Structure 1
Amino acid sequence: MSQIVWIARHGNRIDFVNPEWFNTAERRFDPPLSDDGVVQAYQLGQRLKAENIAHIFASPFLRTVQTANQIAEALDLPIKLEAGLSEWLNPAWFPEMPEKLSIEALTKLYQRIDSSYTSRLVPQYPETHAEMLIRAGKTATLLADEFFSEDILLVGHGASVLGGAVGLVGASAKDQVKASLCCLVKVARQEADWLLELTGDTSHLSAVEEVIRFN
């Protein structure tokens, strides 16, 4: 049995480009992509056009949905919103559960969203780093097993990219995966084993960040 799980991080976000955005935003902890982030997401979609991806799963945060939408347009696939791929709900980052657009509002904005899909795992605020790794890892393994006969793509955040890889490959992935913006991780299943084949590829991007940022 063989299968490929691709894991991608969202593109650049508006508050990384314009920190002042945070001060007046309606949903301060759910920033959209910046203009160059949209370009990055488009380039990632073009990179993945040649791959045999059957399902796209995305965190319900706006920046991940926007990234997944660019990929979904390139691959002509729906988007399944999976809360288990959400941002690390770190109380040092968020004073409360971060407010996001509702699933209904997202579905109106992005018609490729599959409204019939239900998240397999829902994170609870607050969570420690260890809890986040377990949650993201469990989500990746659940989806890989449920859709075991097909290649899938998980679009998440720096934390959930790392957690997903650790969940599939094991703790060794912690020191190998570099979850930069719009990077691509490739994990291949060969019988009972998972092999880490790409650890954070950004060769598809015309511009990459020099220092990896998470929040």
Structure 2
Amino acid sequence: MAAGAGTAAGALAVYLGVRSLESGPLEFRDAIYYPPITDDSPPWWSARVGEPMRVTDFAIWQGAPGLWRQVFDRGRPVEGTGFRVLAIRVPRDDTAFSAPTDVSLPQGVSLYYDDPARDTRIVVLYNRCTHLCCSASWHTSPVPDRLHDYVGSTPTYQVFGEDPIWCQCHDAQYDPMVLTKGRHPRSGLEYVGAANVHGPADRPLPVVPVRVESDILKGTMVDSRWYAYCG
């Protein structure tokens, strides 16, 4: 490897917080991959660890954590890289689901995946709570009854009886059936996210706009500032 390339790889390793990085071409992938399992009890997607998410993987109300824009070195994922996301299949019920229609996106990219022919709708969200940047969860534990005192429309619970996205650190919750506009606290930039329906979070959880290729779910970086609020 040329000296310049080695320096670039080293700089990238520092930027990503990676302790060791093999020499060779580095690649950011937009596909969303199932992450390593950290829980004691295997989740429904345990057999798919390390594979890209496919829109055909999910039953209604199934969700899974994922890694988006991981760095790959010689075809292998670099540990510690990638944005943490949540992918959730929600019902295709437009009487309960809502999303802005006036958001400018690249051609072929949508705020969520929607396929009427297969009756499939999937929402992907950045998994860093807008309160203090903890990781939220989807149906890993039931939300206690005392936390069902929602602010505003919460169709996931009020219509379908399902718990919303829950950050168990401080009990913030977000509804993946209600995509709404929020404003970034640092840049003032407008973005779209899942509505915050329970404090202490006071703004939406950002979506990751998506496109699909050969049924593989891929995120699109519309504006990196949507996700720049941790640290």
**TM-score, shorter chain, exceeding 0.5:** no
Higher relative contact order (CA 8 A, sep 6+): 1
TM-score range for the pair, normalised by the shorter chain length: under 0.3
Larger Rg: 2
Report the structure, 1 or 2, having the larger helix content: 1
